[in-house]
Amino acid sequence: MGLPLLLPRPGDRDLRILCLGAHSDDIEIGCGGTILTLLSTRDDVHVDWVVFSAPGEREREARASAERFLEGASGSSFTAFAFRDGFFPHVGAALKEAFESLKDRQPDVVFTHRLEDRHQDHRAVADLTWNTFRDHLVLEYEIPKYDGDLGRPNVFVELEPEVLDRKVSLLQEGFPSQTGKPWFTAETFRGLARLRGIEAPGGGAYAEGFVGRKLSLRLGPT
């Protein structure tokens, strides 16, 4: 399935994307290549970028990274909350209020965490995404980490080699606070993209993988 299946055609109106990440680098890792691909192929993409745990230095990193990833967007917004890392399940009411404030974004596509992700913050964001955006196209991205919880994507977006190069470069340049972590490496990001490229229909070299749980097809005249 190609990403443009249900999206507005160029020239109709802006394509509106909502990116949700629990932590400052999650969006870039999970769907950064897809965002870069969209912005390289369309000039009418508006992106709302929301990070729920971005205190202090992490907010500065997240804001600067979003600006770099969103160069060329027809419009964009950046929102950072300061929920405590690791404690999302224990602040449910406040987190729900944060999601309520996003309802007016009216996205065509929502990128969020996977429901089965083992990180408790990621799961909380995924749960509230589906609670808040019930009738939207939601694509759940994956984050490689210690838990060994990568899933089985059923939606793939092929990445050109130069797009993957830019994604990896921007990640490494944009998050110096994370470079000491053994999983935050170019090898990790390239390896996962290569694996998903092998799995993707069409046999591209690289891809990002997503879980799409609900899809509506309109087969008659529009």
- Domain encompassing residue 54: 13-212
Tally the C-alpha atoms within 13 A of residue 67's C-alpha that lie toward its C-beta. Answer: 8
* Positions in the chain whose pLDDT score sits under 70: 1-7, 219-222
Q: Which two tokens stand for residue 217?
A: 């097809």
Position 219 in a domain: no
Residues 142-173 have pLDDT tens digits of 999 988 899 999 999 999 999 999 999 999 99
Residues 6+ apart with CB under 8 A from 117: 123, 126, 142, 143, 149
Position 5 in a domain: no
Position 129 in a domain: yes
CATH number at residue 112: 3.40.50.10320
Q: What is the mean pLDDT of the chain?
A: 92
Position 2 in a domain: no
User: How many structural domains compose the chain?
Assistant: 1
Position 221 in a domain: no
Position 79 in a domain: yes
Position 207 in a domain: yes
Position 163 in a domain: yes
pLDDT of residue 56: 87
What sign does the dihedral 118-124-125-128 (CA atoms) show? Answer: positive
CA gyration radius, the chain = 16
pLDDT of residue 204: 82
pLDDT of residue 180: 86
